[in-house]
Structure 1
Amino acid sequence: MRKPTIQDVARRAGVGVGTVSRVLNNHVAVKGVTRETVLKAIADLEYTPNPHARRIAGGKSYTISVLLPMLTTEFYTRLLDGLEAAFQEARYDVAIFPLLDRSRLERYLGSHTLAYQADGLVMATYNLTTLFHERRMRTQQPTVLVDAYTDNVDCAYMDNVTGGRLAGEYASSLPGAVYAIWVETELDQLFTTRVFEDRRSGFLDATKRAGREVSGEFITSFDTLAARNTAASLLDELRATPGGLPATVFASADLLAGAVLDEAHARGIKVGEELRIIGFDDQPWAAARGLTTLHQPVESMGYEAAQLLLSRLNGHRGPPRARRFEPTLVRRETA
């Protein structure tokens, strides 16, 4: 039995082949009723487009490049889930390019790099457009920034100032000293991301307004061992300080909060009583561990960023747009 063709879909839906092609490419110039009719015909016939023919006919790669700092954290896994959900709906493939460190970033700054041969580009957390211009990079393809704000390209971002403020207000309402742990990576030395800077700004503003002093601030990386060592240093300081407990720790990412939680349990410290822990992310495991944290709609942010980019690929020519998402405080046993 032969495989159904695009002509078969067109006949069944009662439309032209061009209309079917526009539906497959998620083009905006297709009426909703017509789109549904074509999609039903595709489902009924179990039609699968030939990706090679599609690329040749459209003169496009139907690939999106995603540049992100790393692959090993749950945050970026969730962000990719949101991005890929939207791109798969539009039948685009995703190519992932992790930055990781200075040397890899340098390689990606070459205009010959495969990352820039895609139809569109997603930059996660770090706005590389200034580096593009410095290197005279080929950047004519549509670009979107996700997990950070910029005014020169489309972006979908989390309001981290508000998230930090919510954490600061809640920490200030709890008894005992207040501490905080922030994240810094090698990439932060190369160019600026405001994610943790904004969380810190909101947090310190809220504690100041509440008349509370932050007794100590610690910095670590997105590395499990480094986070655990930082947690140990913080708890060592609490133990060495007269009246150090009870205390509250705001860990600006759940990965860090988990390290503090593990180290506290290993030392027999009563979490939720002697030590209160507030995280940021609301990762899938946070509820099971009773972690009080700031919930981020990460998948929704990724999905919206992808939709902004797809609209550019479908012909939108307006000024840069920004989509703002706001964290919410989720109270659980750790605080």
Structure 2
Amino acid sequence: MATISDVAKLAGLSVSTVSRVINNSPHVSSKKRNLVKAAMTELGYVPRPAARQLRGSKTNTIAVTIPRIVNPFFAYLVDAIERVLDEQGYSTLIVQTFGRPEEEVTALNLLKNQQVDGVILCSIENSWAVIGAYQKYGKIVLVNEYLKEKDVPVIRSNQYKGFYMATSFLYDQGYRKIAYATGRKNIVITERGEDFDSDRFAGFQDSLNEHQLRFNRQWLFTGAHTFEDGRKILQQILTLNVRPDVLIAGSDEVAMGVVQEAERCKIDVPSAIGVLGVDDQPMSANLKIPLSTVQQPVKRMGQAAAEVMLKQISGTETSTETVFELKVIKRASA
């Protein structure tokens, strides 16, 4: 069985440095932290919980996983979570996964090693077979994500209904060729209520079908997360023989990139191409061309996730699922 000394030797660092990484000390460079994590993974090393933790005392710390802290949606979500936890004397440990499954496992291992009392997952990178195995070590809450398994508290919004309404709104605005962007690499259709991205796309498709609109596969854009991704999407649209007349951008961040690139290319928004974002970030209303968007109740979702986590820790029974409704906000971009 590997020891902390083995980890230090493989990483080329001192045992004290490895110890600081294991105990989440802030005084370690990201380079050294990554070396230690890589060595632990290679050796299969799992740190033993401190004696205090073995006695069953709480850490009063909750880990929160997000893909990217620079995404305003997740920044506001974490802010809402952290404010509730702070009021109750809890600290928050933010883990950015960058969309990598192994980083999510790193956060879950904090629970396994009793370094945190619970984990709030704001974005899922692993299957439930992986995530669910950690429930025996402590409390897990999902927010802004959901899977078909119902044995874990879920705080989510009604993605199906929101995207159905968004697509119908665009139809009512006169658009007929509607493009769709998502952050996922692919979309797998499941039964409604089982998967975040599947629900979004199903709402979109059902509205198209109801209005007898045809969806062109060339109008599906995947892996879109950032402002720069939005700019690239517009450039791809300009190469198409048959162009969409509006885009559901998947996030306000992506939508803003599309709008700015359209402005740079002297393409009029919304007459040449309309753009609909998702989230209703505060800056969306203050752009040169204010952004039409699907408003998500991010503050209420974050507060609810923190409150459910605290109830779980205290042993209070909680509801399995809390669902918030979305709202279409009409502005100038569509």
What is the CA deviation profile of residues 128-179 of structure 1, one whole-angstrom value per residue up to 9, with x for unaligned ones? Answer: 552045xx54733122110123411111101111111011101222334423
Contact 1:179 / 1:217 at 8 angstroms: preserved in 2? Answer: no
The aligned length equals 269
Q: Aligned in 2, Cα 1:115/1:124: closer, same or farther, shift over 3 Å?
A: farther
> Equivalents in 2 of 1:106, 1:85: separation in Å?
23
1:29-178 matches, within 5 Å, as: 59-102=57-100, 104-105=102-103, 108=106, 111=109, 117-126=115-124, 129-133=128-132, 137=134, 139-150=136-147, 151-178=150-177
Asked if 1:313 corresponds to 2:287, the answer is no
Q: Secondary structure at the match of 2:78?
A: helix
Q: Aligned in 2, Cα 1:317/1:113: closer, same or farther, shift over 3 Å?
A: closer
Aligned residue among 249, 252, 263 for 1:265: 263
**Counterpart residue number, 1:295:** 295
Give the C-alpha shift of residue 334 in structure 1: 1.0
Q: Which runs of 4+ in 1 moved over 6 A?
A: 112-115, 186-189
What is the CA deviation profile of residues 92-150 of structure 1, one whole-angstrom value per residue up to 9, with x for unaligned ones? Answer: 000011112437437517746788521121111317552045xx547331221101234
**Counterpart residue number, 2:324:** 325
**Counterpart residue number, 2:239:** 236
**Counterpart residue number, 1:183:** 182
**Counterpart residue number, 2:212:** 211
What is the CA deviation profile of residues 186-239 of structure 1, one whole-angstrom value per residue up to 9, with x for unaligned ones? Answer: 7999xxx933322111011111101122342222331333332122111332xx
Give the C-alpha shift of residue 285 in structure 1: 1.0
Q: Normalising by the residue count of structure 1, what TM-score does the alignment of the two structures yield?
A: 0.72
Higher RCO, 1 vs 2 (CA within 8 Å, ≥6 residues apart)? 1
> Equivalents in 2 of 1:116, 1:228: separation in Å?
44
Q: CA RMSD, aligned part only?
A: 2.9
> Equivalents in 2 of 1:156, 1:287: separation in Å?
26
Which consecutive residues of structure 2, in runs of 5 or more, have no partner in the other structure?
A: 1-52, 189-193
Give the C-alpha shift of residue 315 in structure 1: 2.0
**Counterpart residue number, 1:52:** none
> Equivalents in 2 of 1:123, 1:115: separation in Å?
17
> Equivalents in 2 of 1:147, 1:227: separation in Å?
22
Aligned residue among 248, 251, 254 for 1:250: 248
Q: Secondary structure at the match of 1:287?
A: helix
Q: Normalising by the residue count of structure 2, what TM-score does the alignment of the two structures yield?
A: 0.72
Q: Secondary structure at the match of 1:139?
A: helix
Asked if 1:196 corresponds to 2:207, the answer is no
> Equivalents in 1 of 2:213, 2:108: separation in Å?
48
Contact 1:171 / 1:250 at 8 angstroms: preserved in 2? Answer: no
Structure having the higher Rg: 1
Give the C-alpha shift of residue 70 in structure 1: 2.3
Contact 1:132 / 1:139 at 8 angstroms: preserved in 2? Answer: no
Give the share of equivalent positions with the same residue, in percent: 23
Contact 2:85 / 2:306 at 8 angstroms: preserved in 1? Answer: yes
Contact 1:144 / 1:153 at 8 angstroms: preserved in 2? Answer: yes
> Equivalents in 1 of 2:261, 2:135: separation in Å?
48
> Equivalents in 2 of 1:254, 1:116: separation in Å?
37
Q: Aligned in 2, Cα 1:287/1:308: closer, same or farther, shift over 3 Å?
A: same
